[in-house]
């Protein structure tokens, strides 16, 4: 399972300040004219680093809205966006309800459509309404994790890409969207965070991805949390607190190292 429907994002292990910053719903427009929902939370100090959040298969679920607020509280401007503007119209998980048939819409997404939506969201994060970030990253989860990795090859001018338990290997011979295949086009560093007990993403898959990135000279940090399952960050996080805390620390250090101080 890609998520726990009752989970809330784990808190960043930072001292001081609020747990969450106030966010707001926005509507963005991709280059092909598609209108889609997004949710923005801006850090207290303008101009700091920014991040685009690529959700799991649910699209713009409240989990990711709250995650954007937690990034902003940690000093990172954040916007989470919805994948389904082309097939389901403008909407969020909260508005659609628990009976929303998200998988039928996931099946109709395309790599090019997702890249257009990311491009529009990156532009928003760089605008006054999104925090005026000059250094922008992506972070994604499961379906979004794979797509977050692949944005490194999409010419967005990103400072780095981050993926949680995104499948890096080919699913089959017809799968040409695997990060391990697209890595030759990557233009920025990669941070990958994986669960050691994830049966769908093996140690061999991760090591093969590392070898390819290393061979291409793409800076990378691929971390596996032994005993943690797929979706460990999306679950009731107390069970995986150590992994979640370490993941937050690595993300914030990655952003600070490549995007300047928060």
CATH number of the domain encompassing residue 237: 3.40.50.1820
Whether the predicted pLDDT of 152 surpasses 50: yes
Q: Is 185 helix (H, G, I), strand (E, B) or coil?
A: helix
Count of CB atoms situated within 10 Å of the CB of 29: 15
Residue 18, domain member (yes or no): no
- With beta carbons less than 8 A apart as the criterion, state whether 147 and 140 touch: yes
Q: Cα separations (Å) of 108 from 88, 182, 215, 245?
A: 10, 21, 34, 35
Residue 14, domain member (yes or no): no
Confidence band for 3, pLDDT divided at 50, 70 and 90: low
User: So what's the pLDDT on residue 6?
Assistant: 62
Average pLDDT over residues 208-235: 95
Domain that holds residue 123: 23-259
> pTM for the complete prediction?
0.94
Backbone angles phi, psi at 183, to 5 degrees: -55, -35
Nearest to 140 by CA among 194, 93, 180, 202: 194
7 or 159, which is more confident = 159
Residue 195, domain member (yes or no): yes
Total domain count for the chain?
1
Residue 5, domain member (yes or no): no
Confidence band for 197, pLDDT divided at 50, 70 and 90: very high
Whether the predicted pLDDT of 15 surpasses 50: no
The residue to which tokens 């233009």 are assigned: 187
Residue 12, domain member (yes or no): no
Long-range contacts of 22-25, Cβ-Cβ distance < 8 Å, separation of 24 or more: 22/69, 23/65, 23/68, 23/69, 23/72, 25/92
Residue 101, domain member (yes or no): yes
- With beta carbons less than 8 A apart as the criterion, state whether 70 and 24 touch: no
């Amino acid at each position: 399972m890609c998520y726990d429907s009752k989970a809330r994002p784990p808190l960043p292990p930072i001292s001081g300040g609020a747990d969450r910053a106030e966010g707001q719903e926005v509507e963005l427009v991709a280059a092909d004219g598609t209108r889609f929902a997004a949710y923005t939370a801006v850090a207290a100090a303008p101009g700091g680093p920014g991040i685009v959040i690529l959700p799991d298969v649910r699209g713009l679920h409240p989990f990711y809205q709250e995650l954007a607020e937690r990034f902003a509280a940690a000093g990172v401007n954040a916007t989470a966006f919805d994948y389904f503007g082309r097939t389901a119209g403008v909407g969020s998980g909260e508005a659609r309800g628990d009976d929303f048939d998200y998988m039928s819409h996931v099946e109709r997404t395309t790599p090019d459509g997702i890249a257009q939506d990311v491009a529009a969201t990156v532009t928003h994060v760089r605008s006054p309404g999104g925090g005026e970030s000059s250094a922008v990253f992506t972070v994604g989860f499961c379906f979004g994790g794979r797509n977050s990795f692949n944005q490194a090859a999409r010419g967005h001018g990103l400072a780095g890409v981050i993926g949680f338990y995104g499948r890096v290997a080919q699913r089959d011979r017809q799968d040409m969207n695997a990060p391990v295949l697209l890595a030759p086009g990557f233009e920025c560093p990669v941070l990958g965070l994986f669960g050691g007990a994830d049966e769908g993403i093996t140690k061999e898959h991760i090591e093969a991805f590392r070898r390819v990135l290393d061979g291409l000279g793409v800076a990378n940090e691929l971390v596996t949390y032994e005993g943690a399952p797929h979706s460990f960050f999306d679950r009731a996080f107390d069970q995986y607190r150590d992994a979640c805390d370490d993941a937050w620390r690595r993300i914030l250090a990655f952003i600070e190292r490549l995007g300047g101080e928060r």
